[in-house]
């Protein structure tokens, strides 16, 4: 008799039925008069209990991670995972592992260093604790999309090999494109701006590349950028308002779609305030000077330690785990940045800090062609490499702005990971190109 596959999490609804569960042998426990097999599938764990001598023999000797198909009768047992187990089971091995994982995947902790976890990612990520951040990451992207779809945005996909750098200051990977020098895209910046002229509101989720020469817990050489761009804004505050909706949508979707994983990792989801507190860069520097005794005034950017300090300040003063820092100095922002009216040394841009870390960068952009020419000239740059990009602005572009959120940073902050690499399936960095 053949039955269709049922997921572990569905078993409580199938008591009394004869069903087939398929998955990996999470843990086998052969005892004297009974053999317990715990199977793991995408939904969770299911236990099968073998008591007949012949069935016990068939269930014994499979190493963990053997792929099994078990057909049995769903029987209530409060002690089993999910309160049910398969009794009178028959087992078929679909494939066996050639070697054991570097550590037991069924133990509640992970007794391995990060390099060991990453070196053996195809198998170590099967550990429920190591898999969970990636389920949360997937739910976050689903929430990002749903929120922006709801706001009338169109999803786009843009090239990852480009002819010019976009983010001044960030390092580029040069590649040989059929003999033409080119770069791996640092950001979809130019394309998303140009597509405002076509769709008004666009978003993209995809890989971007930064040739980061430093080895930190928050930088990758390839990361996933969640980008949005919208036209007809008054200034950067309209962009911040959209970002607020997106963060709320991401958090809600994580709660709904990855509740089990959040519980497993003890994740406390942040509250996204109706109005995320904001502070101007110049004011932030004054606070830091007064609060830490270090004087950052004159620095064009915030040091990581000062971002942490500001995050704590926002939590203390405003009860918010999010803080917008606005008005970063123009010298630290790319040429497409819109200056602050009245104080042109500052910009209509922002960073969003979340739990001590820069999570998002965004702002209002220049939208007039002549302003781009002037901005490039003022920076001593030729307009020629940017001609393709600038053509959008020769045909009429509305005031617009957007943002980019680093997915791995979000997931790492959400799950309390000490390193962004724990939120990355296969990290690419200074030292890592495999697996």
Which residues participate in the annotated binding site for L-aspartate?
167, 210, 361, 365
428 touching ligand AMO, by CB under 6 A: no
Q: How far is the CB of 212 from ligand AMO (least distance, A)?
A: 5
Q: Which stretch binds ligand AMO (CB under 6 A): 93-101, 107-115, 322-330, 396-404?
A: 396-404
- Tokens 């609804």: give the residue: 13
Q: What separation in angstroms does the CA of 106 have from each of 26, 37, 50, 95, 118?
A: 6, 12, 20, 19, 18
190 touching ligand AMO, by CB under 6 A: no
170 touching ligand AMO, by CB under 6 A: yes
240 touching ligand AMO, by CB under 6 A: no
For ligand AMO, the closer CB: 46 or 242 = 242
DSSP 8-state class, residue 63:
P
Angle between helices 128-150 and 236-257 (to 10 degrees): 130
220 touching ligand AMO, by CB under 6 A: yes
CA contacts within 13 A on the Cβ side of 379: 18
For ligand AMO, the closer CB: 23 or 399 = 399
231 touching ligand AMO, by CB under 6 A: no
Select from 86, 233, 288, 359 the one that contacts ligand AMO (CB under 6 A).
Answer: 359
**What is the separation of C-alpha 206 from the centre of its chain, rounded to a whole number of angstroms?**
11
Burial of 174 (0-12, 13-18, 19+ CB in 10 A): exposed
In contact, 358 and 307? CB cutoff 8 Å: yes
Question: 148 is written with which tokens?
Answer: 């922006």
406 touching ligand AMO, by CB under 6 A: yes
In contact, 338 and 219? CB cutoff 8 Å: no
Select from 86, 162, 272, 360 the one that contacts ligand AMO (CB under 6 A).
Answer: 360
Q: How far apart are the first and last CA of the chain?
A: 41
**Helix (H) or strand (E) run with residue 71 in it:** strand 67-76
354 touching ligand AMO, by CB under 6 A: no
Select from 320, 361, 411, 415 the one that contacts ligand AMO (CB under 6 A).
Answer: 361
In contact, 200 and 230? CB cutoff 8 Å: yes
For ligand AMO, the closer CB: 84 or 185 = 185
Binding site for ligand AMO (CB under 6 A): 167, 170, 187, 189, 210, 212, 219-220, 223, 225, 358-363, 402-404, 406, 408-409
């Amino acid at each position: 008799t053949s039955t269709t596959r049922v997921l572990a999490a569905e078993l409580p609804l199938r008591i009394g039925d004869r069903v087939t569960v398929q998955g990996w042998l999470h843990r086998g426990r052969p005892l004297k008069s009974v053999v317990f097999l715990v199977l793991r599938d995408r939904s969770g764990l299911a236990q099968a209990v073998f008591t007949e001598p012949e069935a016990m023999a068939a269930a014994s000797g499979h190493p963990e991670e053997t792929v099994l198909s078990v057909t049995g009768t769903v029987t209530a047992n409060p002690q089993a995972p999910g309160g049910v187990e398969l009794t009178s089971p028959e087992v078929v091995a679909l494939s066996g592992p050639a070697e054991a994982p570097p550590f037991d995947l069924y133990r509640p902790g992970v007794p391995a260093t990060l390099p060991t976890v990453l070196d053996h990612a195809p198998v170590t990520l099967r550990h429920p604790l190591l898999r969970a951040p990636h389920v949360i990451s997937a739910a976050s992207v689903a929430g990002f999309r749903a929120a922006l779809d709801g706001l009338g945005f169109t999803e786009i996909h843009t090239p990852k090999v480009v002819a010019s750098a976009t983010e001044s200051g960030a390092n580029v990977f040069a590649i040989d494109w059929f003999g033409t020098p080119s770069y791996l895209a640092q950001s979809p910046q130019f394309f998303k701006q140009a597509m405002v002229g076509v769709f008004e509101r666009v978003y993209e989720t995809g890989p971007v590349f930064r040739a980061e020469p430093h080895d930190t817990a928050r930088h990758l050489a390839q990361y996933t950028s969640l980008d949005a761009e919208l036209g007809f804004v008054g200034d950067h505050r309209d962009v911040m308002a959209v970002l607020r909706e997106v963060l709320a949508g991401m958090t809600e979707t994580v709660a709904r779609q990855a509740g089990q994983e959040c519980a497993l990792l003890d994740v406390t989801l942040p509250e996204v305030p109706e109005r995320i507190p904001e502070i101007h860069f110049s004011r932030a520097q004054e606070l830091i000077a007064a609060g830490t005794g270090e004087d950052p005034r004159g620095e064009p950017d915030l040091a990581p330690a000062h971002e942490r300090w500001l995050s704590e300040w926002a939590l203390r003063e405003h009860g918010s785990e999010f803080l917008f820092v606005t008005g970063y100095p123009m010298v630290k922002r790319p040429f497409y940045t819109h200056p602050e009216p009245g104080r042109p040394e500052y910009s209509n841009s922002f960073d969003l800090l979340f739990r001590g870390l820069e999570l998002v960068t965004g702002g209002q952009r220049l939208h007039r062609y002549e302003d781009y020419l002037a901005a490039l000239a003022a920076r001593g740059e030729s307009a020629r490499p940017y001609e393709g990009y600038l053509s959008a602005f020769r045909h009429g572009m509305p005031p617009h702005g957007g943002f980019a959120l680093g997915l791995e940073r979000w997931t790492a902050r959400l799950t309390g990971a000490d390193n962004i690499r724990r939120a990355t399936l296969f990290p690419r960095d200074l030292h890592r190109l495999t697996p």
